[in-house]
């Protein structure tokens, strides 16, 4: 769907052409791509074979019948053709143009666009997908509302993350604290995905929204990834990826279920374990220390296993880790202390 929307996003010549036809109120039926399956159901018309231009599309739409474009939308191949799709293919549309469009899309898997003459709407069909393009003003309003919601959720998430960070240094983190933060992250990511859909549909009108989104949550996926790596029972890349894949699949009410999320992290006995104290490995904290390569972070975690042990490590002990010399050991020790001080101050704001 998002690829489809990008194809017809505002600012593209194709969208300009569709808008021209819509404004002219001639109606239109357009097939994108000319494969053997399409050839089979096309009858009559003229071969045009010229470069695509929004104005040509508008002129050709004045004629009856369907227009066929090349798959890359660069050429207009045929106009004034009749499409004869298999009439046994089901269609929920009532008008002939729209019914034809839906059937052709199902039969050929090509993108078919129907522009209604009377109802002022552009409808996209591809396979079983059907999508009526919305007015840009309406989408912009929705996208702005979603950004406002996102801002609120993100600020609560930031505070929760800081509080979690502070509890980590005090060794007071419960599994419940961790699953709460993961819930919030997932909600933020879902709003982000919704806004991304609007951005796709807005094309170059969505630039400002896109910048705001990047500013607000550009880093959230990375933070979420490190958080899961910090707490998942068995830490390997495949398991971490799996947690995110499964989180995505949860229904909205399931995200609120702490037991579900604990299970994803590898803690199946939630009723007994909700208040279980857990310790992070230290991925999030170590990633905040500037210029610390990931290989060294991995070596540190392999050696000390948990953040509390890492915090207690002396400069000599840090120095013994592969890839760490005395200077770097000092930087790490100071970095850890600085992050601890900062997070404890921030928590009490």
Ligand X SMILES: Nc1ncnc2c1ncn2[C@@H]1O[C@H](COP(=O)(O)OP(=O)(O)OP(=O)(O)O)[C@@H](O)[C@H]1O
Q: Based on CB atoms, which residue is closest to ligand X, 76 or 265?
A: 76
Q: Based on CB atoms, which residue is closest to ligand X, 23 or 241?
A: 23
Query: From the CB of 25, what's the least distance to ligand X, in Å?
Result: 9
Q: Based on CB atoms, which residue is closest to ligand X, 58 or 283?
A: 58
Query: From the CB of 31, what's the least distance to ligand X, in Å?
Result: 9
Q: What is the 3-state secondary structure (H, E, C) of the chain?
A: CHHHHHHCCCCCHHHHHHHHHHHHCCCEEEEECCCHHHHHHEECCEEEEEECCHHHHHHHCCCCCEEEECCCCCEEEEEEEEECCCCCCCCCCCCHHHHHHHHHHHHHCCEEEEECCCCCCEEEEECCEEEECCCHHHHHHHHHHHHHHHHHHHHHHHHHHHHHHHHHHHCCCEHHHHHHHHHHHHHHHHHHHHHHHHHHHHHHHHHHHHHHHHHHHCCHHHHHHHHHHHHCCCCCHHHHHHHHHHHHHCCHHHHCCHHHHHHHHCCCCHHHHCCCECCCCCHHHHHCCCCCCHHHHHHHHHHHCCHHHHHHCCHHHHHCCCCCCHHHHHHHHHHHHHHHHHHHHHHCC
Q: Based on CB atoms, which residue is closest to ligand X, 119 or 152?
A: 119
Query: From the CB of 35, what's the least distance to ligand X, in Å?
Result: 17
Q: Based on CB atoms, which residue is closest to ligand X, 62 or 233?
A: 62
Binding site for ligand X (CB under 6 A): 27, 29, 64-66, 82-83, 95-98, 100, 116-119
Query: From the CB of 32, what's the least distance to ligand X, in Å?
Result: 15
Q: Based on CB atoms, which residue is closest to ligand X, 119 or 305?
A: 119
Query: From the CB of 44, what's the least distance to ligand X, in Å?
Result: 9
Query: From the CB of 60, what's the least distance to ligand X, in Å?
Result: 11
Query: From the CB of 121, what's the least distance to ligand X, in Å?
Result: 8
Q: Based on CB atoms, which residue is closest to ligand X, 27 or 203?
A: 27
| Best CA proximity match to 231, nearest among 154, 306, 309 | 306
Task: Return the residue nearest ligand X (CB atom).
Answer: 95
């Amino acid at each position: 769907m998002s690829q489809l929307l990008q194809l017809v996003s505002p600012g593209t010549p194709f969208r300009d052409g569709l808008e021209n036809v819509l404004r002219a109120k001639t109606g239109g039926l357009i097939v994108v791509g000319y494969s053997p399956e399409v050839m089979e159901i096309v009858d009559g018309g003229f071969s045009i074979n010229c470069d695509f231009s929004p104005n040509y599309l508008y002129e050709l739409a004045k004629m009856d019948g369907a227009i066929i474009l090349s798959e890359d939308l660069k050429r207009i191949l045929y106009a004034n053709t009749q499409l004869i799709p298999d009439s046994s293919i089901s269609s929920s549309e009532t008008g002939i143009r729209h019914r034809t469009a839906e059937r052709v899309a199902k039969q050929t898997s090509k993108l078919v666009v129907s522009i209604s003459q009377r109802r002022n709407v552009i409808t996209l069909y591809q396979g079983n997908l059907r999508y009526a393009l919305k007015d840009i003003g309406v989408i912009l309003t929705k996208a702005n509302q979603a950004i406002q919601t996102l801002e609120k959720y993100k600020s609560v998430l930031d505070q929760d993350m800081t509080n979690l960070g502070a509890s980590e240094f005090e060794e007071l983190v419960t599994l419940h604290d961790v699953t709460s933060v993961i819930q919030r992250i997932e909600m933020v990511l879902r709003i982000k995905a919704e806004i991304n859909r609007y951005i796709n549909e807005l094309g170059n009108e969505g630039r400002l929204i896109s910048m705001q989104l990047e500013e607000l949550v550009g880093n959230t996926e990375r933070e979420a990834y490190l958080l899961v790596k910090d707490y998942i029972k068995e830490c390997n890349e495949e398991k971490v990826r799996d947690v995110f894949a499964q989180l995505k699949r949860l229904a909205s009410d399931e995200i609120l279920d702490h037991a579900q999320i604990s299970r994803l992290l590898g803690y199946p006995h939630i009723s007994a374990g909700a208040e279980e104290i857990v310790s992070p490995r230290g991925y999030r904290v170590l990633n905040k220390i500037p210029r610390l390569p990931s290989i060294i972070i991995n070596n540190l975690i392999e050696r000390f296993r948990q953040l509390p042990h890492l915090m207690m490590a002396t400069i000599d002990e840090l120095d013994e880790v592969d890839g760490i010399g005395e200077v770097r050991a000092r930087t790490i020790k100071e970095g850890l202390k600085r992050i601890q001080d900062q997070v404890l101050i921030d928590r009490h704001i």
